[in-house]
Amino acid sequence: MYSCHWPMKRILTALILILAVFALIFFGQLWMITLAAAIVAELATYEYLKLAAVGAESHGAQLRIPIWWMALGTALAFVVTLPNFPVEAQLPVLSAITLALFAWNGFRAPLIQVLPDTAQGLFGLIWIAYPLTLIPLLWKKEDGPALVVFLMVCVWAGDIAALYIGRAFGKHKLAPRLSPGKTWEGSIASIIGSILAAALVVWIGDLLTIRGNLLLHITEPLWQTLILAGILNIAAQLGDLLESAVKRGAGVKDSGTMLPGHGGILDRIDALLLATPVLWFVLLLKDTFSLGRF
Amino acid sequence: MYSCHWPMKRILTALILILAVFALIFFGQLWMITLAAAIVAELATYEYLKLAAVGAESHGAQLRIPIWWMALGTALAFVVTLPNFPVEAQLPVLSAITLALFAWNGFRAPLIQVLPDTAQGLFGLIWIAYPLTLIPLLWKKEDGPALVVFLMVCVWAGDIAALYIGRAFGKHKLAPRLSPGKTWEGSIASIIGSILAAALVVWIGDLLTIRGNLLLHITEPLWQTLILAGILNIAAQLGDLLESAVKRGAGVKDSGTMLPGHGGILDRIDALLLATPVLWFVLLLKDTFSLGRF
């Protein structure tokens, strides 16, 4: 019974989320995108904290990262990436907040937990909060909305292709230790799916541009866009696998129960958590070596 | 027998180190300071890796942070803080190297270790490598050599005052759980020691300046320098306590055996690892709010 109902629930949740994301990208303002990304980051770091706590318990220990610290750290991650925040203070703020958690743990946590707890608090910021701060930064670039749509479509199309092609034709296990359901067939379908979806985005963007609508305008040469789609897809799949590794390390199946039919927030954004910094890095490299811009 | 010999060994080692540091600060060039800081950082992160491994073992686990990753990460920390490295790429590089370790651990480590090991690898960079990159950055500021001397003298003078006054008059335990030998009397003597030593540095600097030698020139008002000395001393003492917490968490006494009579490199620089970023942060705040400069 349940297994018959969940796909509907899942598809409905996905549709609502996708529409909300597109509405934000095309009709939102910078502060709305930033706020939405910050809320997602707060929810995801909260789930992360629970995951890390379950992981610590299976070591026979109790995690001592205060929720207020994680909330403050995540909020600060957004503050330090605001356009008017001095860039040279980003690392000092990261260092200061980490040292604050270190001091808190030093006086509160069992000694054996001081190092791992402090380290895991910091890692939550770099793994989850930082990539999400890049979404508003991407959006406010030239052709920013098109860039964010491109990123989302690559990740989603790859995910869908992997699911359906993998289920139909999947035979050879990709990484059974991390995620037993994934196959090489699904993974390769995922890459092809992302590249095709990226081509579709470019094609629609070109059609709109001819009609004078620059909403989906992408100036990058087509071949670069398609290679980028492949790279982002591989990053997204890796992000998915690594989140699975963390969940399995903690011994849980879903990161949370916030989204009906989808598990937790972290399960939904795991692919994005790797694809976004990889995209940001590629753009930085292209800028640095003047390889043209997106 | 041994207890009669170690103070001599300790004092001799300290003297050689202090002379080497002063020689570097006053007669060295930027690349020498950077190279020296980088070597200390590599040795200290290596000790850190061993400490974290012992800590993991006492959890019944095996740490999987490769030495090459730690060496590469530490070297990269210095590269991203070089003057001609684009500041906006610092966080992306930190993110990229962390994700690389995450992926490595995902496929190599036992699942339960993926999260703590990746996190502890990242933490080593922020706790140890990052503060040491700030030493050459401080040195090349205006009045930079005086600034670095001031930092070192504050930390050392506080350490010495705490040791001798604490041993003679110490009664009330400061933080018995973290470091049983430390007393409030020693801690307060340490703050006073740092402030007096800072005053001495300023006095010598003023004498030299009158004679036309700007080697120890400090433009900051005296009261600000003395408050800063107190702040740096507290940060240094906290750094000492937190390193003790990590060592006790791992169940070891010294972080290593590299320095005769002094234990490991990490034991020697633990105070500096907190005092340096705190100094950097204070200077950033003073710059931002135009409170005068050091």
B79-109: pLDDT as tens digits: 999 888 999 999 999 999 999 999 999 999 8
Chain B residue nearest residue A237, CA to CA: B103
Contacts of B290 (CB under 8 A, 6+ apart): none
Residue A178 has pLDDT above 80, yes or no: yes
C-beta atoms of A131 and B102 within 8 A? no
Q: How far is A71 from chain B (nearest CA, A)?
A: 18
Task: Work out the mean pLDDT of chain A and round it to a whole number.
Answer: 90
Percent of chain B at pLDDT > 70 equals 94
Residue B238 has pLDDT above 80, yes or no: yes
C-beta atoms of B130 and A242 within 8 A? no
Q: How many inter-chain contacts (A to B, CB under 8 Å) are there?
A: 156
Chain B residue nearest residue A250, CA to CA: B112
**Average pLDDT for residues B155-160, to the nearest whole number?**
92
Contacts of B179 (CB under 8 A, 6+ apart): B240, B241, B244
Q: How far is CA A1 from CA A14, A116, A253, B10, B57, in A?
A: 21, 43, 20, 74, 46
Residue B171 has pLDDT above 90, yes or no: no
Q: How do residues A195-236 score in pLDDT, each as one tens digit?
A: 999 999 999 999 999 999 888 888 888 999 999 999 999 999
H or E element in which residue A242 lies: helix A222-250
The dihedral sign for the CA sequence B73, A44, A152, A131: negative
**Average pLDDT for residues A32-59, to the nearest whole number?**
93
| pLDDT computed for residue A258 by the predictor | 64
Task: Work out the mean pLDDT of chain B and round it to a whole number.
Answer: 90
C-beta atoms of B95 and A284 within 8 A? no
C-beta atoms of B61 and A58 within 8 A? no
**Average pLDDT for residues A154-169, to the nearest whole number?**
91
Whether B133 contacts B164, CB under 8 Å? no
The dihedral sign for the CA sequence B73, B76, B80, B82: positive
CA-to-CA distance for A66 and A53, rounded, in angstroms?
Answer: 11
| pLDDT computed for residue B225 by the predictor | 93
Which of B50, B84, B93, B99 to mutate to probe the A interface, most A CBs <10 Å?
A: B99
Q: How far is A244 from chain B (nearest CA, A)?
A: 9
Q: Interface pTM (ipTM) of the complex?
A: 0.92
| pLDDT computed for residue A91 by the predictor | 95
C-beta atoms of B120 and A116 within 8 A? yes
Residue A1 has pLDDT above 60, yes or no: no
| pLDDT computed for residue A3 by the predictor | 44
**Residue showing tokens 């992408």:** A218
Residue B3 has pLDDT above 60, yes or no: no
Smallest Cβ–Cβ distance between B115 and the set A87, A115, A249 belongs to: A249
**Average pLDDT for residues A116-121, to the nearest whole number?**
96
Q: How do residues A55-105 score in pLDDT, each as one tens digit?
A: 888 777 888 899 999 999 999 999 999 888 999 999 999 999 999 999 999
Contacts of B285 in chain A (CB under 8 A): none
C-beta atoms of A127 and B274 within 8 A? no
| pLDDT computed for residue B1 by the predictor | 36
Whether A274 contacts A235, CB under 8 Å? yes
| A43 residue type, one letter | L
C-beta atoms of A249 and B120 within 8 A? no
Radius of gyration of chain B, Cα coordinates, nearest whole angstrom: 20
Higher pLDDT, A150 or A264: A150
